[in-house]
């Protein structure tokens, strides 16, 4: 039996069991990484760059027909990325030291803990139990933060649509095929064994066996096993993943963890700021109050002082007045005396005449 078909069958058998257990899962079970989820393993040593997967994907998703037909190989001369018209693209890479070019298929990697889902503020993305990351256009606002977040540059946007633009990306054929127990369209269309479908655990085991059995043909790494916390689309290759234009510096931290720290601080801010601000307010109020008190005190003192002063002045004035009066009286008496004397003199003088 053809191994791909075998795995495919195994896969579809699994689909049945998983589909049966979704009801259970919906009953409040928390996300734990879905150990039974499905995966696709891409083997770049098998890929011949025929673009059959691109064609199958285009058809199953009813996407616009491309300018150049799918059997036109000149398309491969340019590096392409996923767009709103192509959920998947195959690129050609010239690898130093190899006479034959190497191909790589690009599509959503169906991260185990997707950045896009964590970033979406309406929760439009869902990591299904089957492993596929799906998107619900009926709630999408079109903020495009998911596109900022995706470390693999996958989601695309329908910029040309005015009324109902959508985010566009590979769905692992979740609704079109998986839930019906069928293989993803691209996997089925692949004429080689470049794409294999199955349970993630199983495919990891298979990949490891390949790396062990043909160590000279493979780089000893399964891309997607750990990257960004692990993905459901896995890659093995005969040449370094950098040569295939893949980012090997992503690290193994799942994307949501980068923001959870900042988000965890939020309750702290909400709880502590009011206390802090209230404290500052109280201090500034107290400062104001003290200042006010001091002001009042000084005013009172000033008033008291002026009163004192006034009293003193008044007394002085009284004293002075009294003194003046005395003087005045004395003066008057003196004057009277003088006058009296003068009169007497006059009288005496008059008698002399």
Partner 1 sequence: MSDQETGKGRSSLGPFHIITGLILLFGVFLTVYRFTQGLGPMTNLSHEYPWGLWIGFDLLCGVALAAGGFVTTAACYIFGLKKYHIAVRPAVLTAMLGYLLVVIALTYDVGRPWRLPYPFVVQSGTTSVLFEVALCVMIYLLTLIAEYSQVAFEWLRMSVARSMVMKVILFLTVLGVILSTMHQSSLGALYLIAPSKMHPLWYSAYIPVYFFVSSIVAGLSMVIVEMSLARRFMRRKMDEAHERGYEDVVLGFGKAAAFVLAGYVSLKVLGLAVENDWGYLVTGFGGLFLIELLGFFALPAYVFAVAARERRVGLVKWTALWAVLGIVLNRINVSLIAYNWNLSVGEHYFPGWMEFGLTIFIVTLGLVLYRYCVTRMPVLYEHPEYTDTH
Catalog residues that contact ligand SF4 under the rule CB under 6 A: 56-57, 60-61, 87-88, 107-111, 114-116, 119-120, 122, 124, 133, 140-146, 150, 152, 154-155, 167, 169-173, 184-186
Residue 260 binds which entry of ligand SF4, partner 1, none, CB below 5-8 Å type-dependent: partner 1
* Spatial distance between the Cα atoms of 219 and 225, rounded to a whole number of angstroms: 14
| Residue 33 in the binding site for partner 1 (CB under 8 A) | no
| Binding to partner 1 in span 150-169, by CB under 8 A | 151, 153, 155-162, 164-165
Does 211 participate in binding partner 1 (rule CB under 8 A)? no
Cβ distance to ligand SF4 smaller for residue 186 or 222: 186
* Minimum gap (Å) between residue 285 Cβ and partner 1: 7
* Residue 108 interacts with which of partner 1, ligand SF4, none, CB < 5 to 8 Å by class: ligand SF4
For residues 131 and 218, which CB has a smaller minimum distance to ligand SF4 in the complex? 131
Q: Is there a contact between 37 and 17 (Cβ–Cβ < 8 Å)?
A: no
Return d(Cα 114, Cα 133) in angstroms, integer: 8
Q: Which is nearer to ligand SF4, 151 or 221 (CB)?
A: 151
Whole-angstrom Cα distance, residue 333 to residue 163?
117
Look at residue 84 and give the partner it binds from ligand SF4, partner 1, none, a contact being a CB closer than 5 to 8 Å depending on partner kind: partner 1
- The one of ligand SF4, partner 1, none whose footprint includes residue 20, by CB under 5 to 8 A per kind, is none
Contacts to partner 1 by CB under 8 A: 81-84, 115, 117-124, 139-145, 147-149, 151, 153, 155-162, 164-165, 247, 249-251, 255-256, 258-263, 265-266, 269-270, 273-274, 277-278, 280-281, 284-285, 287-288
């Amino acid at each position: 039996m053809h191994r791909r078909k075998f795995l495919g069958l195994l896969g579809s058998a699994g689909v049945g069991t998983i589909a049966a257990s979704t009801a259970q899962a919906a009953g409040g079970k928390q996300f734990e990484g879905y150990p039974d989820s499905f995966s696709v393993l891409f083997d770049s040593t098998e890929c011949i760059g025929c673009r059959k997967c691109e064609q199958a994907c285009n058809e199953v998703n009813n996407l616009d027909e491309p300018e150049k037909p799918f059997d036109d190989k000149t398309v491969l001369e340019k590096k392409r990325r996923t767009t709103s018209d192509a959920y998947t693209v195959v690129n050609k890479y010239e690898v130093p030291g190899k006479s034959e070019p190497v191909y790589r298929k690009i599509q959503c990697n169906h991260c185990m803990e997707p950045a896009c889902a964590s970033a979406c503020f309406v929760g439009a993305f869902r990591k299904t139990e089957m492993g596929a990351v799906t998107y619900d256009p009926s709630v999408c606002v079109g903020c495009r933060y998911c596109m900022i977040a995706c470390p693999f540059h996958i989601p695309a946007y329908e910029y040309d649509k005015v009324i109902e633009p959508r985010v566009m990306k590979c769905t692992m054929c979740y609704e079109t095929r998986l839930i019906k127990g069928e293989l993803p369209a691209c996997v089925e269309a692949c004429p080689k064994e470049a794409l294999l479908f199955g349970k993630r655990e199983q495919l990891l085991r298979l990949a490891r066996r390949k790396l062990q059995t043909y160590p000279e043909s493979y780089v000893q790494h399964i891309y997607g096993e750990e990257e960004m916390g692990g993905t459901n689309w896995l890659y093995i290759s005969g040449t370094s993943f950098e040569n295939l234009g893949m980012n090997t510096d992503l690290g193994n931290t799942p994307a949501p963890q980068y923001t959870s720290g900042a988000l965890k601080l939020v309750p702290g801010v909400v709880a502590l700021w009011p206390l802090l601000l209230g404290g500052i307010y109280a201090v500034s109020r107290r400062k104001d109050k003290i200042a006010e008190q001091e002001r009042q005190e000084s005013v009172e003192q000033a008033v008291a002082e002026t009163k004192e002063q006034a009293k003193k002045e008044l007394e002085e004035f009284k004293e002075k007045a009294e003194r003046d009066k005395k003087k005045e009286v004395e003066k008057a008496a003196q004057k009277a005396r003088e006058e009296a004397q003068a009169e007497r003199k006059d009288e005496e003088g008059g008698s002399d005449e």
